Amino acid sequence: MTTARHYALFIDGAFCEGVEARRFDDINPATGKLVATVSEASAADVHRAVTAAKRAFEGPWGNMTTNARLDLLAKASQRIMESFDQFLGHEMDDTGKPVSFASKVDIPRGAANLQLFADLARNLGTESYATDTPDGGRALNYAQRHPLGVIGVICPWNLPLLLMTWKVGPALAAGNTVVVKPSEETPASATLLAEVFQEVGLPPGVFNVVHGFGPGSAGEALTQHPDVAAITFTGESATGKAIMKTAAEGLKPISFELGGKNAAIVFADCDLDKAVEGTLRSVFSNCGQVCLCSERVYVHRSIFDTFVARLKAGAEAIRIGDPYDETTEMGPLISAVHKEKVLGYFRLAREEGAEVITGGGEPTLEPPFQGGHFVEPTLWTGLDENARCVREEVFGPVAHLQPFDDEAAVIAMANDSPYGLCAAVWTQDLSRAHRVAAQLDVGMVWVNSWFLRDLRTPFGGTGASGIGREGGKHSIDFYTDLKNICIKL
């Protein structure tokens, strides 16, 4: 890409500049070069977007038949697949993620999320009961689903299209309208999605995009807006706390998908090849920037040395560099700031007494990638379970490996975390798999797999990893209110 693009706001069905005409830069993290300039929304722009969304909710969108609404979502899903290469290129330029990952995960899932929720909403029923009445008669109780109104959607940068559509899909399918605040690091795919919605004929105001930052910018203004009925947020736990405080003023329902410090547990009876391959993926996918990544790997002592040697060899074989090269397996971190944070943890691990099994530095790359935010795939061992590097989310390509001796001890170590997003368990003993999975304090457990998704299942975390569940019917539950109607017959 040679000429920088420009990403405008999308309000009431049209692309526009912010009233204060402020702009910020969108940088390609693989090269450090400018991708685009981006219009920053002020509180006044957010107000325009919310007002348009409210009008659409009360008018054209609210009055549309369910099938007509869901047909538009399905068409948008199809359009994403038809514009696959454009979405792919824009998402890669914003994130630096390799084509091998983005083409298999980000873009197909962006389309699948819209299709799934269109299909689901078409087929979803509600409960009803035949009720005995005190006078010996009968009554009928039935529940109706009602959309909430304008949903504020606040997104992170790690899987921009995937995580945005994961929220926009069910919110629109349920009959709401949305104002999306993409991450300031990754404005492209929200802008492209706006184009898609425009093309398929979504009524103006149903989908709006306000670019900008968090505090003192578009994110905070959206959270504060009195006409925003609910907030759905994916991002850091600390940001979740700030959003929750602001949302509390308006008693807004919130759905939070937050950080993790996920454990992988490798039992001696695992299929070693599969456990090594799966753990390499769970630690290093997307440069460790998936909330589900394993940053704590517990390995039974009897296979610890073998497992460490195999994981080290795997980590050292990872091909880093040009995102557009089909053979590249790992791209850069998202930004210079995030790279500094991750390198800070690399330094801290040494200070805390870690043995660095591999990595811990920056790779040497050819131009233009020497200007990118790359770090080495890194593995540590030897840290105390109370070390900051074992307790805090790094969100980079790094894990700490700890040996364990028995099942109870490893469950206790895995559970000793403020986070509770997910875990991966590697064992061929079916009883052990059930027993251990039941005792892990997390929202999701993968056995002999990782990030194997069925979009109908409940997705979310416990503790500092989130509030509520999204996925399938659980998303629709969040984006609707149930009204019970009792009719005395």
Structure tokens at 115: 């299709």
Whose Cβ is closer to ligand 6OD: residue 49's or residue 120's? 120
Burial grade of 167 (CB within 10 A; 0-12, 13-18, 19 or more): buried
The residue at minimum Cβ distance from ligand 6OD is: 291
Q: Of 57, 157, 298, 426, which lies in the binding site for ligand NAD, with binding defined by CB under 6 A?
A: 157
Neighbours of 300 (CB within 10 A): 21
Shortest separation between residue 419's beta carbon and ligand 6OD, angstroms = 13
**So which residues are the catalytic ones?**
257, 291
Q: What is the layout of strands, in order, in the sheet containing 207-209?
A: 14-16, 9-11, 207-209, 177-181, 150-154, 228-234, 254-257, 466-467
Give whichever of 22 and 453 is closer to ligand 6OD, judged by the CB atom.
453
Place of tokens 């001696």: 268
Q: Is position 188 an interface residue for ligand 6OD (rule: CB under 6 A)?
A: no
Retrieve residue 454's tokens.
């069925």
Residue 331's contacts (CB-CB under 8 Å, 6 or more residues apart) are 29, 30, 95, 96, 97, 98, 101, 286, 287, 320, 323, 372, 374
User: In the set 39, 42, 158, 262, which binds ligand 6OD (CB under 6 A)?
Assistant: 158
Q: Which of 257, 295, 322, 376 binds ligand NAD (CB under 6 A)?
A: 257
What residues numbered 383-422 form the site for ligand NAD, per CB under 6 A? 393, 395, 421
Closer residue to ligand NAD, CB minimum distance, 40 or 257: 257
Question: What's the closest the beta carbon of residue 205 comes to ligand 6OD, in angstroms?
Answer: 26
- Counting contacts by CB under 6 A, is residue 463 touching ligand NAD? no
Phi, psi of 183 (to 5 degrees): -65, 145
Piece in contact with ligand NAD (CB under 6 A), picked from 237-245, 298-306, 314-322, 396-404: 237-245
Q: How many residues bind ligand 6OD (CB under 6 A)?
A: 9
Please give the helix or strand (H or E) that residue 431 lies within, else none.
Answer: helix 430-439
Applying CB under 6 A, among 53, 243, 276, 303 the residue interacting with ligand NAD is 243
Q: Should residue 153 be labelled a site residue for ligand 6OD when binding is judged by CB under 6 A?
A: no
Strand 398-404: give its sheet, edge to edge: 355-358, 378-381, 398-404, 294-300, 262-266, 422-426, 444-447
Cα end-to-end distance, the chain, whole Å = 68
Residue 26 near ligand NAD by CB under 6 A: no
Q: Quick one: 215 or 418, whose CB is closer to ligand NAD?
A: 215
Q: For the window 124-143, what string marks contact with ligand 6OD as x by the rule CB under 6 A? A: --------------------
Contact range with ligand 6OD by CB under 6 A, out of 33-41, 132-140, 155-163, 355-363: 155-163
Q: For residues 224 and 381, which CB has a smaller minimum distance to ligand NAD in the complex? A: 224
Name every residue whose Cβ is closer than 8 Å to that of residue 4 and which is 6 or more positions away in sequence: 34, 35, 36, 37
- Taking alpha carbons only, the member of 403, 145, 417, 103 closest to residue 258 is 417
Site map 288..307 versus ligand 6OD, x via CB under 6 A:
--xxx---------------
DSSP labels, 275-308: HHHHHHHHHHGGGG-STT-EEEEEEEGGGHHHHH
Binding mask 283-322 for ligand NAD (x = CB under 6 A): --------x-------------------------------
Token representation of residue 356: 């660095």
CA 295 to mean position of chain CA atoms:
17
Distance CA 162, CA 158 (A): 9
Residues that bind ligand NAD (CB under 6 A): 154-158, 163, 181, 183-184, 213-215, 219-220, 223, 234-236, 239, 242-243, 257-260, 291, 393, 395, 421, 461, 465-466
